[in-house]
Structures are given as structure tokens and as C-alpha cells.
Homo-oligomer: A and B are copies of this chain.
């Protein structure tokens, strides 16, 4: 876990799986993204049976190996069953203090937050990173609310000591504003998993993030 925790400091492109949107399937997407250098994968699955999720999660864990942090969205039971590196939880999921008790001090817990107040509370509660969003208006998550804008990232980033992952409506065209805004990492679901070539798309995001950072350093 030491090694996985240290990967948190170098995450850039963050893969969230989506079996509904994926063109080639979740396992293929994970394999392709990790091959492209993605260092963090979140398995997000809302429709399959627990048995299928446990099986798929164990396959994703193998694909991530030592290369990428492997988190399970929401389902602490699935994370525990396959000994994942941790979980990502939203405000409708298990309370973070309960998740921490069940997972222990070493696992990674990421929390979705929508503003600086929730972000500060997340860090106080022991979150290892926050997923901040939605940055832009998005059609994939109906209940996500209005985009907060990339200019909102800076204040959150400066207030926290843990990484800030930007999420919501992000694509290659608007990534620059997100990175300039101060995000440590970004999620771009449909831009990647809807593609025929997830490895290429992931590489392009990683290169883009690199370029922007070296340009604005």
C-alpha cells in the first residue's frame, strides 16, 4: 500500500469505468488506459450483480497490478472482497467515517465534493483526495448539477493538502483551463471510453496535461 499511496502524488489522467458508455468494455478500457500510463482507475458499476462485480473487480485489480491505484466506486463490500486499494465515495454513499472503519487506515478513500466547504470537510474526515465537480455542465450524469467552472478549482487546491481531481464534462478542448485552474488530475469519461482506441486517447490526455504544466510552470 505504501507504493500505491505514493502514486497519488503523480496521478494525472484518472480513469472512471462506465460499462454503459464503453465501446470495448470495462476490462479492455482498463487494460488500455494502464498500458498508456494511467496511474489511477475507479471501477464504477451500478447495474451488475454483486457476484459479477466481485469477479470483474478482481480482474481489474490484476490489470492494475503495481502500475495503477485501483479503487471501487461506492461498494466497500466489493473493495474488501478483492482487497482493492480503496474506494471512491459520493455524498450519497456510505459516510466516510464508516468506510474508514471498515477499510482501515491504510486504504485510499476519495470523496466527491462540490465546493470548498465540502472539500475542507472531506480532508478533515480523512479523505486521501477529493473529486471536485462537476467542473462543466454534463449530460452523462443527470443529477450532477450546474458546472462550477474551472476557475473554482484554484481556491480548493490552495485550501487543501490532498490531491484535487477535477471531474464533469471535461474533454481535450477544455482540459487546459482545468489544469491551469490547478487540478492535480482529471477525469474525462466519455472522451475516453467511447473511443475505438482508449490507449491513444489516454496517452493524448497524459501528454496534454504534461504540456500544459510545463508551459505554465
Interface string of A93-117 (1 = CB under 8 A from B): 1110010001000000000000000
Main secondary structure of the interface of A (DSSP, over half): helix
A30 contacts chain B at the CB level, 8 A cutoff: no
Q: How far is the CB of A48 from chain B (nearest CB, A)?
A: 9
Closest 10 CB pairs of A and B: A77-B77, A49-B92, A76-B77, A50-B93, A81-B98, A51-B92, A50-B94, A80-B102, A50-B74, A54-B94
A75 contacts chain B at the CB level, 8 A cutoff: yes
A95 near B49: Cβ-Cβ < 8 Å: no
Q: Beyond A49-B92, A75-B77, A77-B80, list 15 extra A-B contacts (CB 8 Å).
A: A50-B74, A50-B75, A50-B92, A50-B93, A50-B94, A51-B92, A51-B93, A52-B92, A76-B80, A76-B81, A77-B94, A80-B102, A81-B94, A81-B98, A81-B102
A49 to B92, CA, bound (A): 6
Interface residues of A in 67-81 (CB under 8 A from B): 74-78, 80-81
* Residue of chain B at shortest CB distance from A75: B77
A121 to B17, CA, bound (A): 35
A87 to B16, CA, bound (A): 30
- CB < 8 Å: which of B49, B51, B95 contacts A54? B95
